[in-house]
Amino acid sequence: MAGQNTLTFTDADFDRDVLRSDVPVLVDFWAEWCGPCRQMAPTIDVVAGEYAGRVKVGKVDVDANGNTAMRYNIRGIPTLLLFKDGHVVEQRVGAVGKSDLQKMLDAHVQVKA
């Protein structure tokens, strides 16, 4: 359930792929049974394509990766966390539109020339 530019993060690779990333990382905490999560999936995929090379965009399935979800106190899904230099710099809970995602990212990413 991810587009070609949308990554999948797991408990096992989260520290390496997200916390040690040299670019900001947008993480979508979701679950298969979550309606709003499924509604947001196409938007996440579009944003992943538009920001390719400047931001990593990926998903964490909270059912399969409970340790990471607990570590970041994920209580409702979808929850979006934006990591930069290993730290959470932005957070959104609930379904958000593309323009909200762009605003969230643009504050922390170099604008495309």
Tokens of 85: 């230099």
Alpha carbon 65 to its chain's center: 14
Q: Look at the alpha carbons of 69, 20, 58, 78 in this order and tell me if their dihedral is positive or negative.
A: positive
**Catalytic site includes residue 92:** no
Q: Which of 2, 23, 31, 34 is catalytic?
A: 34
Identify whether 42 is preceded by a cis peptide bond (ω within 30 of 0): no
**Catalytic site includes residue 34:** yes
Q: Which of 37, 57, 60, 69 is catalytic?
A: 37
Catalytic residues: 34, 37
